[in-house]
Amino acid sequence: METNIYKGKDDVYGRARVQDNEELLAYYNKLAELDTGALWTVANEIEPWEPISNSVPMLWKYDELRDLVLESARLVTPGQAGRRVVYLINKKRANVKAACGWLYAGIQVTQPGESTPAHRHKAAALRFIMEGDKGYTIVNGNKISLAVNDFVITPNSTWHEHGVDADGKTCVWMDGLDIPLVNALEANDYAVYDEDGQEELVPMNYSPMSYSGSGLIPVDREWNNPYSPLFKYSWESTYNALVNAGKVSDGTPYDGVIMQYSNPLTGGHVMQTMGAAMQMLKPGQHTKAHKHTGSFIYQCAKGKGYTIIDGKRFDWKERDTFCVPAWAWHEHVNLSDTEEAFLFHFNDLPTISKLGLYQEKAYTENDGHQTLI
Ligand code: FE2
Ligand code: FE2
């Protein structure tokens, strides 16, 4: 199996060709004193032959996390915590609080009758609803209801707050944000809404209901924002879309039937920096392996199976979360012979693609399947 190694390290320009000697070491020291350095000593480090991820593949089992997530509701209020969230830490990205690459993920819990303080930030956010009933979010004055497996966006700099109706059930959802990326670009900010929550500017579910017609868009609206006016993508319409598509196609060799959540006005990604998709693996389906740039955080929405990432098997079932780092080989398997499996994921592909950094490679050995290590 191919791994991320510096191929040809010993036969190119760089440290391998330059033998240290006293004169050179003294020279390096003089450069260091002036806050400079010799590029040939670090060339392979800063310009690898192939993309190298600083993240490792990981899986977070919901069975292990759920009790601790719910316990946070007993320990702190949303008002005290600001955001009562248990966040996921990639073992190699703890320093930037990332779950994978430059993406953050967390699991938030809100009890009936609770609401979070309204705020906004330059980092974009999205949510995937894991459990509960009668949850809602308010984004720029649009109050939107949330149900299990719904996907909802909070584009950068939009005022937002969340809550659960008093007669609802405790809601848990996965938050996905590009905080590590925006922080790395030194462009993040944060502001708290200065009143007791936002005023509802339009009727409940105004935006999703206006724009959710299949292929139809309202002719009496203007939308000049760089993100989807739909805000919410319901599980019902997502499920039906995938099942219908699956009736006429097996989808791609690498993902099965996969559909991107899109801005209905452009067909493009839902937000400027992060995208998301849902995929369906047919009963018994085992996809082929490939790898590509971009960081991906998955959550199983329905079913059970496993994903092999860089030769290691990660078994998942409903509500488990796992990540596929950039340039890691991956292939997915549905373990059921009778039921479809559904995987939600979000990614940084809009950023990667806009910067011209997307590349993809198919695994060509062993009929496209990795050997387990
Ligand atoms: Fe937020
Ligand atoms: Fe992939």
**What DSSP letter does each residue of 201-236 carry, written as one string?**
-S-TTHHHHHH-STT---TT----SSS-TT-EE-HH
- CA of 55 from ligand 1 middle (Å) equals 24
Which ligand lies nearest the alpha carbon of 192?
1
Q: Is residue 225 part of a domain?
A: yes
Q: Is residue 359 part of a domain?
A: yes
Same domain, residue pair 111 and 14: no
**pTM score, whole prediction:** 0.94
Same domain, residue pair 21 and 65: no
d(CA 208, CA 201): 14
Question: Are 115 and 161 spatial neighbours (Cβ–Cβ below 8 Å)?
Answer: yes
- CA of 232 from ligand 1 middle (Å) equals 16
For residues 1 and 156, the model is more confident at 156
Q: Is residue 53 part of a domain?
A: no
- CA of 325 from ligand 2 middle (Å) equals 10
The candidate with the shortest Cα–Cα distance to 285, out of 338, 357, 215, 349, is 338
- CA of 361 from ligand 2 middle (Å) equals 10
Q: Is residue 350 part of a domain?
A: yes
Which ligand lies nearest the alpha carbon of 329?
2
Same domain, residue pair 332 and 284: yes
- CA of 329 from ligand 1 middle (Å) equals 32
Instruction: State the sign of the Cα–Cα–Cα–Cα dihedral 58, 62, 64, 68.
Output: positive
Same domain, residue pair 268 and 174: yes
pLDDT of residue 252: 97
Q: Is residue 373 part of a domain?
A: no
The DSSP bridge pattern shows strands 104-110 and 232-233 to be unpaired
Same domain, residue pair 286 and 147: yes
pLDDT of residue 45: 78
Question: Are 343 and 367 spatial neighbours (Cβ–Cβ below 8 Å)?
Answer: no
Residue-range definition of the domain harbouring residue 332: 58-368
pLDDT of residue 46: 83
d(CA 129, CA 111): 14
Q: Which two tokens stand for residue 46?
A: 């800063």
Same domain, residue pair 19 and 147: no
- CA of 281 from ligand 2 middle (Å) equals 13
Among 166-175, 214-223, 327-336, the minimum mean pLDDT is found in: 214-223
pLDDT band at 9 (very low <50, low <70, confident <90, very high): very low
- CA of 317 from ligand 1 middle (Å) equals 28
The candidate with the shortest Cα–Cα distance to 242, out of 227, 258, 226, is 258
Report pLDDT digits (tens) over 93-118: 999 999 999 999 999 999 999 999 99
Q: Report how far apart, in Å, the C-alpha atoms of 199 and of each of 83, 142, 159, 196, 323 are.
A: 20, 9, 11, 9, 37
d(CA 160, CA 193): 9
Question: Are 212 and 237 spatial neighbours (Cβ–Cβ below 8 Å)?
Answer: yes
pLDDT of residue 16: 57
Report pLDDT digits (tens) over 213-267: 888 999 999 999 999 999 999 999 999 999 999 999 999 999 999 999 999 999 9
- The enclosing H or E element of 181 equals helix 179-184
For residues 243 and 41, the model is more confident at 243
pLDDT greater than 70 at residue 18: yes
Across all residues in the chain, what is the average pLDDT? 94
pLDDT band at 5 (very low <50, low <70, confident <90, very high): very low
The candidate with the shortest Cα–Cα distance to 225, out of 157, 162, 178, is 157
Report pLDDT digits (tens) over 341-352: 999 999 999 999
Same domain, residue pair 228 and 279: yes
Same domain, residue pair 296 and 350: yes
d(CA 168, CA 164): 6
CATH number of the CATH domain containing 76:
2.60.120.10
- CA of 160 from ligand 1 middle (Å) equals 6
Same domain, residue pair 315 and 232: yes
Report pLDDT digits (tens) over 46-84: 888 899 999 999 999 999 999 999 999 999 998 888 889
Question: Are 100 and 93 spatial neighbours (Cβ–Cβ below 8 Å)?
Answer: yes
Q: Is residue 304 part of a domain?
A: yes
Same domain, residue pair 9 and 130: no
pLDDT band at 6 (very low <50, low <70, confident <90, very high): very low
128 burial via Cβ count (<10 Å: 0-12, 13-18, 19+): buried
Number of domains in the chain: 2
pLDDT greater than 60 at residue 8: no
Residue 56 has a CB neighbour count (10 Å cut-off) of: 16
d(CA 180, CA 83): 17
Q: Which two tokens stand for residue 234?
A: 């319901």
pLDDT greater than 80 at residue 23: yes
Report pLDDT digits (tens) over 135-153: 999 999 999 999 999 999 9
pLDDT of residue 7: 42
Which ligand lies nearest the alpha carbon of 289?
2
The DSSP symbol for 258 reads E
Same domain, residue pair 9 and 157: no
The residue type at 32: A
Q: Is residue 52 part of a domain?
A: no
- CA of 278 from ligand 1 middle (Å) equals 23
The DSSP symbol for 116 reads P
Same domain, residue pair 236 and 363: yes
- CA of 255 from ligand 2 middle (Å) equals 7
Share of the chain above pLDDT 90, in %: 88
Q: Is residue 336 part of a domain?
A: yes
